[in-house]
Amino acid sequence: MPADSMSMIIMMVVMIGVFYFFLIRPENKKKKAMNEMRNSLKVGDNITTIGGVVGDIVHVKDDNIVIEVGADKVRIEFTKWAISTNNTAEKAAAKEKEAAIQARKQAKQKKEKKEK
Protein backbone atom coordinates (compact mmCIF):
# COMPACT_ATOMS: atom_id res chain seq x y z
CA MET A 1 0.00 0.00 0.00
CA PRO A 2 2.75 2.56 0.75
CA ALA A 3 4.26 1.97 -2.71
CA ASP A 4 0.94 2.85 -4.36
CA SER A 5 0.57 6.08 -2.41
CA MET A 6 4.20 7.02 -3.06
CA SER A 7 3.82 6.47 -6.81
CA MET A 8 0.60 8.53 -6.74
CA ILE A 9 2.40 11.41 -5.01
CA ILE A 10 5.26 11.23 -7.52
CA MET A 11 2.78 11.23 -10.40
CA MET A 12 1.03 14.32 -8.98
CA VAL A 13 4.35 16.15 -8.60
CA VAL A 14 5.25 15.30 -12.20
CA MET A 15 1.85 16.56 -13.42
CA ILE A 16 2.28 19.83 -11.52
CA GLY A 17 5.75 20.22 -13.02
CA VAL A 18 4.40 19.62 -16.52
CA PHE A 19 1.64 22.17 -16.02
CA TYR A 20 4.14 24.69 -14.69
CA PHE A 21 6.66 24.36 -17.52
CA PHE A 22 4.18 24.04 -20.40
CA LEU A 23 1.34 26.32 -19.30
CA ILE A 24 2.08 28.65 -16.41
CA ARG A 25 5.68 29.67 -17.14
CA PRO A 26 5.16 30.60 -20.83
CA GLU A 27 2.05 32.61 -19.91
CA ASN A 28 3.99 34.53 -17.25
CA LYS A 29 6.75 35.26 -19.78
CA LYS A 30 4.18 36.53 -22.26
CA LYS A 31 2.58 38.80 -19.62
CA LYS A 32 5.99 40.17 -18.65
CA ALA A 33 6.87 40.90 -22.30
CA MET A 34 3.52 42.67 -22.84
CA ASN A 35 4.05 44.80 -19.72
CA GLU A 36 7.56 45.74 -20.88
CA MET A 37 6.20 46.67 -24.32
CA ARG A 38 3.43 48.79 -22.81
CA ASN A 39 5.84 50.54 -20.43
CA SER A 40 8.27 51.35 -23.25
CA LEU A 41 5.68 53.15 -25.43
CA LYS A 42 6.71 56.62 -26.48
CA VAL A 43 5.31 59.53 -28.48
CA GLY A 44 5.35 58.81 -32.21
CA ASP A 45 4.93 55.04 -31.96
CA ASN A 46 2.27 53.47 -34.17
CA ILE A 47 0.17 51.06 -32.11
CA THR A 48 -2.80 48.71 -32.43
CA THR A 49 -5.29 48.29 -29.61
CA ILE A 50 -6.99 45.05 -28.61
CA GLY A 51 -10.11 46.42 -30.31
CA GLY A 52 -8.27 46.89 -33.61
CA VAL A 53 -7.88 50.68 -33.50
CA VAL A 54 -4.62 51.77 -35.13
CA GLY A 55 -3.04 55.14 -34.45
CA ASP A 56 0.02 57.17 -33.51
CA ILE A 57 0.77 58.03 -29.89
CA VAL A 58 0.69 61.78 -29.16
CA HIS A 59 0.77 61.73 -25.35
CA VAL A 60 1.85 59.15 -22.75
CA LYS A 61 0.59 59.30 -19.16
CA ASP A 62 1.16 56.87 -16.28
CA ASP A 63 -1.66 54.46 -17.09
CA ASN A 64 -3.15 56.05 -20.23
CA ILE A 65 -2.08 57.08 -23.70
CA VAL A 66 -3.62 59.42 -26.25
CA ILE A 67 -3.47 58.43 -29.91
CA GLU A 68 -4.36 60.16 -33.17
CA VAL A 69 -6.50 58.12 -35.52
CA GLY A 70 -7.33 58.62 -39.19
CA ALA A 71 -6.94 61.51 -41.59
CA ASP A 72 -9.05 63.76 -39.34
CA LYS A 73 -6.45 63.39 -36.57
CA VAL A 74 -9.11 62.42 -34.04
CA ARG A 75 -7.57 61.94 -30.60
CA ILE A 76 -8.66 59.01 -28.43
CA GLU A 77 -7.47 58.14 -24.94
CA PHE A 78 -6.85 54.49 -24.01
CA THR A 79 -5.54 52.70 -20.95
CA LYS A 80 -2.17 51.06 -21.52
CA TRP A 81 -3.52 47.55 -20.93
CA ALA A 82 -5.66 48.00 -24.08
CA ILE A 83 -2.55 48.15 -26.31
CA SER A 84 -2.03 44.96 -28.28
CA THR A 85 1.03 45.68 -30.42
CA ASN A 86 3.63 48.37 -31.01
CA ASN A 87 3.80 48.41 -34.81
CA THR A 88 6.80 50.75 -34.88
CA ALA A 89 8.90 48.43 -32.71
CA GLU A 90 7.82 45.35 -34.69
CA LYS A 91 8.81 47.00 -38.00
CA ALA A 92 12.19 48.00 -36.55
CA ALA A 93 12.78 44.46 -35.28
CA ALA A 94 11.85 43.03 -38.68
CA LYS A 95 14.31 45.42 -40.39
CA GLU A 96 17.09 44.42 -37.98
CA LYS A 97 16.37 40.75 -38.57
CA GLU A 98 16.42 41.24 -42.35
CA ALA A 99 19.71 43.18 -42.10
CA ALA A 100 21.24 40.37 -40.03
CA ILE A 101 20.11 37.79 -42.59
CA GLN A 102 21.61 39.86 -45.43
CA ALA A 103 24.88 40.25 -43.50
CA ARG A 104 25.08 36.47 -43.00
CA LYS A 105 24.42 35.88 -46.70
CA GLN A 106 27.14 38.34 -47.68
CA ALA A 107 29.60 36.78 -45.26
CA LYS A 108 28.79 33.33 -46.60
CA GLN A 109 29.28 34.52 -50.20
CA LYS A 110 32.65 36.09 -49.31
CA LYS A 111 33.71 32.88 -47.61
CA GLU A 112 32.71 30.82 -50.66
CA LYS A 113 34.66 33.18 -52.97
CA LYS A 114 37.76 32.84 -50.79
CA GLU A 115 37.51 29.05 -50.90
CA LYS A 116 37.44 29.06 -54.71
Check residue 46 and give its pLDDT. 94
Q: What is the pTM of this model?
A: 0.66
Check residue 1 and give its pLDDT. 54
Residues 56/46, Cβ–Cβ less than 8 Å: yes
Check residue 50 and give its pLDDT. 94
C-beta neighbour count of 85 within 10 angstroms: 15
Check residue 33 and give its pLDDT. 92
Check residue 106 and give its pLDDT. 87
Check residue 82 and give its pLDDT. 94
Q: Can you spell out the DSSP letters for 69-91?
A: ETTTTEEEEEEGGGEEEEHHHHH
Tens-binned pLDDT, residue by residue, of the chain (116 aa): 577 888 889 999 999 988 888 888 899 999 999 999 999 999 999 999 999 999 999 999 989 999 999 889 899 999 999 999 999 888 888 888 898 899 888 888 887 777 76
Check residue 116 and give its pLDDT. 65
